[in-house]
Amino acid sequence: MKQKSIAVVGAAETTKMGKIPDVSVIGLHADAALNAMADCGLKPSDIDGVATAGISPVDLAHYMGITPTYADGTSVGGCSFMLHVRHAAAAINEGLCNTVLITHGESGRSRVGAGGFARAASSLAGQFEMPFGPMGPPTMFTIPVLRYLKARGYTVEDLAHVAVIQREWAAMNPRASFKDPITVADVLGADMIAWPFTKLMCCLVTDGGGALILTSAERAKDFPQKPVYILGTGESVETPMVSQMEDFTSSKAFRVSGKKAFEESGISHSDVDHLMIYDAFAHLPLYGLEDLGFCKPGEAAGFIRGRNTAPGGKLPLNTNGGGLSYMHSGMYGMYALQESVRQMRGIAPAQVPGAKISIAHGVGGMFAASGTIVFSNEAP
Amino acid sequence: MPPRMLPEPTPETRHFWDGCKAGELRLQRCTDCDGGSYFPPRPFCPKCGSRKVENYAASGKGVLWSYVINMRPRPDMGTEPYAIAVVKLAEGPQMMSNIVNCPQTPEALQLDMPLTVTFAAQNDDISLPFFEPVKG
């Protein structure tokens, strides 16, 4: 895409976060959407593009009273919203629409008006994975990890360090679900969910949502909030079955998406002030740091242990506390984008001083898909 | 205990499940390119796109590539923790399976241990391919 041609002008999460038993899934979408419209001073009639995952963009448009000329229902898991941002940027630049609303809402914990996760027994995953007993992401997303640890010379303590440091960030965030400090021993000693993953290496299960509103950089100057420009974008998909991932030590979707985003944005790794790597489980930041090129293979665990990603470190990572400590409703990518936007606006609870470039990197499914957005707060 | 979740074969995968019933682990390979064996089944080569592919009986040998031990068993899987494993087959492809005739512990389940296929009939139509440690 064209650098800085598009900007985020509205961004908000749901009014409440965590346990919201009195709001349904579509209600969470709407709450986030209304908050984002209020953030930029727009009404539903001002929106002419919609994008969402989990529910259909038809559901969203009708519920919100929007008559769009652009609708994107890309649904590739938790990074769908990164792809929505990318597609919206292209659509606005192509003149398909002017102002795009992207929403996420999920009743992950309370399951109010929520669908199921069932896979048809005739699908490839239904035939070649489900008969062997996987039970959701904790037993699937984690399958490559023992191979990864062995290949890299990492240990389960390295996974624990990821959770410990993210809890340090969460402690600074009033909206984080878990704020109390934890130790490596706490993480290793927590309930075993799926060896080698304990509960504290797995994301939270909460209710919530978020919404973004994008328009052209030219128009963005007229909105009340500081525009956050899209500098570069990437996306890719690999496989609907984690067992068929080409390389258990590296995500092809991460590598392709990341490389594209760096190329589009024309930046180098040292230009990045702030980074979000979707952490549904503690191994994802390690894969992300390596596959995005911030660390050489085998160096990510030491990089985290060395406190480079911790408060005060040179590459602040998952500064909202991440899916491990902040919140995780199911498709967390929206919250990673929200935190990047807050950091670029300079209003994050754990604000990185002077941050000018932020990357939000998402994963979808179990290493199935990926999307990467590079943000800048400097006007074109 | 609810009945175990079982596959529903499609025309494109029928040969695989018929093979399991007959005691053969059937893979596919391309006869147009040297792309090698692939899995899961599909009627064309994922490397070159050719429809000229053949089914064949694989060796049934492989190694334990990676796994987790699910401590909260799915209701249809019984009450004891079990490993959900990925086996790297001698012919190249990876496939998900369970490791049978072996304690479901990190000590017993060593990465790269040699495994061999064994089939367990679930009903008249479906036999599931499991893997067990090579003896000796």
Question: Which of A47, A48, A51 lies closest to A34 in space, CA to CA?
Answer: A47
Active site residues of A: 278, 326
Q: Is residue B7 part of a domain?
A: no
A284 Cβ contact partners less than 8 Å away, ≥ 6 residues apart: A277, A278, A363
Question: What does the angle CA B123 – CA B127 – CA B133 come to, to the nearest 5 degrees?
Answer: 135
What pLDDT score does A52 carry?
98
Residue B118 dihedral angles phi and psi, to the nearest 5°: -145, 145
Question: Which of A252, A220, A223 lies closest to A235 in space, CA to CA?
Answer: A252
The letter for the amino acid at A18 is G
Q: Is residue A219 part of a domain?
A: yes
Among B4, B68, B86, whose Cβ lies nearest the Cβ of A194? B68
Q: Is residue B47 part of a domain?
A: yes
Question: Which of A43, A257, A301 lies closest to A155 in space, CA to CA?
Answer: A301
What pLDDT score does A119 carry?
75
Using the Cβ of A116 and the Cβ atoms of chain B, whether some distance falls under 8 Å is answered with: no
* Mutate which: A146, A149, A159, vs B, most B CBs within 10 A: A146
The letter for the amino acid at A142 is T
Q: Is residue A153 part of a domain?
A: no
Q: Taking a contact as any Cβ pair under 8 Å apart, which residues of chain A between 153 and 192 contact chain B?
A: 191-192
pLDDT at B1 over 90: no
What pLDDT score does A117 carry?
61
The CATH number assigned to the domain holding B65 equals 2.40.50.840
Question: What distance lies between CA A65 and its chain's CA centroid?
Answer: 27
Among B7, B106, B111, whose Cβ lies nearest the Cβ of A131? B7
For B28, the domain range is 14-133
Residues from chain A contacting residue B40 (CB–CB below 8 Å): 124, 127-128, 241, 244
What pLDDT score does B87 carry?
98
pLDDT at B27 over 90: yes
For A97, the domain range is 6-113+204-376
What pLDDT score does A207 carry?
94
Q: What is the mean pLDDT of each run of 10 residues along chain A (380 residues)?
A: 95 95 93 97 97 96 96 97 98 98 94 76 93 94 98 98 98 96 98 98 95 98 97 97 97 98 98 98 98 98 98 98 94 98 98 98 97 97
ipTM confidence: 0.93
The number of distinct structural domains making up chain B is: 1
The CATH number assigned to the domain holding A367 equals 3.40.47.10
Question: Beta strands A70-72 and A49-52: pairing type?
Answer: parallel
Q: Is residue B3 part of a domain?
A: no
- What is the C-alpha R_g of chain A? 19
Q: Is residue B31 part of a domain?
A: yes
Residues from chain B contacting residue A144 (CB–CB below 8 Å): 66, 86
The number of distinct structural domains making up chain A is: 1
Question: In this prediction, what percent of chain B has a pLDDT beyond 90?
Answer: 93
Q: Is residue A63 part of a domain?
A: yes
Q: Is residue B2 part of a domain?
A: no
What pLDDT score does A116 carry?
65
Q: Is residue B73 part of a domain?
A: yes
**Mean pLDDT rounded to a whole number for chain B:** 96
